[in-house]
Amino acid sequence: MVMSEGVAPPYLSRELEQPGKTRKGSTSSQRAGSRWGRRILTAFACLVYLYLFLPLINIIVFTFNDPAGRYNISWDGFTINNWLDPFKDQELTNAFIRSLEVAVLSISIALIMGSLVAIALARYRFTGSRGIEIFLVLPLTTPEIVLGASLYQLFLGRNVVFGFSTVVIAHVMFCVSFVALTVKARVRGFDWTLEDAAMDLGASPWRSFRKITFPLILPGIVAAALLSFALSLDDYIVTDFTKGEFTTFPIQVNNAFRVSFPPQVNVLATIVLIVSVLLLVLTSVRSEKGATR
């Protein structure tokens, strides 16, 4: 679960969109590396991509499997029935919907709180800002199992009923730092005097925020939202400790694995994959347009 800004897709950041940078790299590598060295490196890179995508290909291919038993892990024949009936498994569908609910709610809370922290850190100079920055990194460098176990002890000691709300509290917790650091990286070096200029021209503080500050931090917020969504939807370990009888999609898949692994799991996972990739492409195309404008 450990996340850093390095995980935010770097192509969403302005830094990499500067033209000319790419040329610098390719010309020099032509001089530096021998032709064979480059060919071997290219072949190796293709193999790494194959490795990265092998399980995804497996997941997608197995959405078309017609498993003989209750486990969709051996190839038994082609069918499109799974795609015609993706919500066949009621328990799984409910867990999937609950996962989406948890993700949407926790991300909304984390985005607001995290962005405020980012604005405070990027825009003001104040005592303790360095300490706050270090404190923000800590949840990201703590193993998930410790985050989960400590929340488990907190809720248990206070007799809190485990369920939807405890899972949301946990998801907000691990998303806040991530949002704050991603948005902050994005607004670093932003010229805050633009806000003064707007106010000198008679804009109210709210108007100058809406017209100047918000559009500038928006790409950072979008990047943070996308990746926190993936984090929340995907989370297993922290959820395992805070769920009680409540089940999210990954938890349901794991619990059901003792008796079955239906192809609908693959179909739902593939739908999430396709939607996320589309969103990613859309936002990066939009941010590239924004950069060239």
Partner 1 sequence: MAADTSSDDRGLRKGKWAPYGLLSPGILWLVLFFLVPVMILVRTALSSKASRFANPEFSWQFSNFTSAFTDYGPQFVRSFLFAGIATISAILIGYPLAYWIATQGGRWKNLLIGLVVVPFFTSYLIRTIAWTSLLKDDGVILNVIHAIPFVPQDFRLLATPAGVIGGLTYNFLSFMILPIYVSLEKIDFRLTEAAADLYGTPWQAFKKVVLPLSMPGVFAGSLLVFIPAAGDYLNNRYLGSPKTSMIGTVVQDKFLVQFDYPVAAALSLVLMAIITTMVLIYSKFLGTEGLAV
Task: Locate 201 and state its tokens.
Answer: 């021209």
- Count of C-beta atoms within a 10 Å radius of residue 176: 23
Of 86, 100, 229, nearest in space to 164 by CA: 100
Residue of 36, 78, 126, 206 interacting with partner 1 (CB under 8 A): 126
Q: Find the binding residues for partner 1 in span 231-250 (CB under 8 A).
A: 233-234, 236-237, 240-241, 249-250
Question: In the complex with partner 1, which residue's Cβ is closer, 157 or 202?
Answer: 157
- Residue corresponding to tokens 């969103």: 279
Of 76-84, 85-93, 212-220, 273-281, the segment contacting partner 1 by CB under 8 A is: 273-281
CB of 84 to partner 1, least distance (A): 21
Residue of 50, 74, 282, 290 interacting with partner 1 (CB under 8 A): 74
Report d(CA 55, CA 62) in Å as an integer: 10
* Burial degree of 172 (CB within 10 A; 0-12, 13-18, 19+): buried
Question: In the complex with partner 1, which residue's Cβ is closer, 180 or 222?
Answer: 180
Question: In the complex with partner 1, which residue's Cβ is closer, 26 or 90?
Answer: 26
Residue of 116, 160, 203, 218 interacting with partner 1 (CB under 8 A): 116
Q: Are 216 and 187 in contact (CB under 8 A)?
A: yes
Site for partner 1 contains 24 (CB under 8 A): yes
CB of 38 to partner 1, least distance (A): 7
Host H or E run for residue 262: none
Site for partner 1 contains 108 (CB under 8 A): no
Site mask for partner 1 (CB under 8 A), range 76-105, x = bound: ------------------------------
Report d(CA 72, CA 192) in Å as an integer: 55
Report d(CA 120, CA 114) in Å as an integer: 10
CB of 185 to partner 1, least distance (A): 5
Of 81-89, 100-108, 213-221, 229-237, the segment contacting partner 1 by CB under 8 A is: 229-237
Residue of 92, 102, 119, 167 interacting with partner 1 (CB under 8 A): 119
Of 151, 179, 154, 173, nearest in space to 240 by CA: 151
- In sequence order, what are the residues at sequence separation of 6 or more whose Cβ sits closer than 8 angstroms to the Cβ of residue 70? 259, 260, 261, 262
Q: Find the binding residues for partner 1 in span 133-192 (CB under 8 A).
A: 133-147, 149-154, 157, 169-170, 172-173, 176-177, 180-181, 184-185, 188-192
* Number of residues in contact with partner 1 under rule CB under 8 A: 125
Report d(CA 31, CA 15) in Å as an integer: 25
Q: Are 167 and 248 in contact (CB under 8 A)?
A: yes
